[in-house]
Amino acid sequence: MGASVEDSYAALDAARSHFADATDFTIGIEEEFQILDRDSLRMCNRFEELRDACEAGPLHGNVAGELIASEIEVKTGRGATFDEAARMIVDRRIALMEEAERLGVAIGATGTHPTSPWTEQRIIDTPHYRIVEGTLRYIAWRNNTFGMHVHVGIRGADRAMAVANHMRSHVPILLALSCSSPWLEGRITHLRSTRTQIFTRMFPRCGVPDVFADWADYDRYVRFLLETESIREHTEIWWTVRPHQSFGTVEVRACDALPDIAESIALAALQTALAARAARLYDAGELPPPDRPSDIEENLWRALRWGTDRGQIDLERRAVVGAADHARALLAACSPEVEALGLAPWLEPLEDLLQNGDHASRWKARVEAGEDMSAIHAEQVEITMASARRLKEVLDGR
């Protein structure tokens, strides 16, 4: 969610220079994990211990708190290329697992935990989260959710704003492919992304943002929020796509956390390709007008409710298309970016999601067929840990 800013106006004043100095298509990836009791696999409040262990080792500077003490975020920082960022996030996940194992806890990556109640989770004591809890109270307490965020460097503040406007339209298909939260507090919710419902429907300044004409328009909006004491810092703007004024990036915050790191990286690669394509179209004067928030919200509802089982609305043709067909069309449109940025090998794991659908739909079907959701979650915890080591072996062999 972000760290506290000492002087919010000074940070906003500096934003244009951050974007002016940004390098196109640098990449940062952030993954949020459940901290779990090793035996029961229920969420446990051991963030501070795990953070301190990580900070004393190779993860120094690359872990952060995410509201509750049973959650931890691992981040790459800035990768000069997608390949560098992808390899970093593999190494970071492995290092996190090793520290967790030494402490006797496990880590898991699904958008929500199937059974652990929010009443058992503690808010961490940091300046930023004291602000969040003090302002939101119940809304903050209920936000026991886990996602994946991708930062794409975009040079130029107006250009970044245009890319952010465009990326809003891609949020629903990115979510549909990533859905991994069909459960909450012991029940199948019949949503595929319960995380999205809890977070974007409860938090203020969340979900699909409005369209901003340029950076000056966005700057005026943030100043309005600060001047009216609606926010105290820009990190209290939690949209699914936002320009990150401190990093000179467009940050996409659409996806559920995924157990298989190869799939997580594949979705990050798709987001990178889409952002790079938007920048190319902007430079050529060919970027289409932004879609209305209400239209995008229709697709977002389809994604969080049905994942890939229900088609997406092609907003240009005003017709429903299959989610997999929609994703394939986007991949084809991004082929110049895929080639230029070397994304093809990283995108390969998307094929399983396109052929077989999102994981939440599969897990829901298994529970309805009689399987225990805790057993399915345990299987995903194992994948969370094993997939990184498996991919590391593959990468070391290349």
pLDDT digits (tens, 9 = 90+) for 222-238: 999 999 999 998 989 99
68 phi, psi to nearest 5 deg: -105, 155
Number of separate domains in the chain? 1
Within 10 A of 382 (CB to CB), how many other CB atoms are there?
14
- Residue 2 belongs to some domain of the structure: no
In a domain, 3, yes or no: no
Q: Which domain holds residue 19?
A: 8-397
Residue 257 lies in a domain: yes
* Residues 17-30, mean pLDDT to the nearest whole number: 98
In a domain, 154, yes or no: yes
Q: Which residues, 6+ apart, have CB-to-CB distance to 94 below 8 Å? A: 388, 389, 392
CATH code of the domain covering residue 279 = 3.30.590.20
Residue 83 lies in a domain: yes
Query: How much is the pLDDT for 127?
Result: 85
Domain annotation covers residue 1: no
166-198 tens-digit pLDDT: 999 999 999 999 999 999 999 999 999 999 999
Q: Record the pTM.
A: 0.96
What's the rounded Cα separation, in Å, for the pair 60 and 158? 34
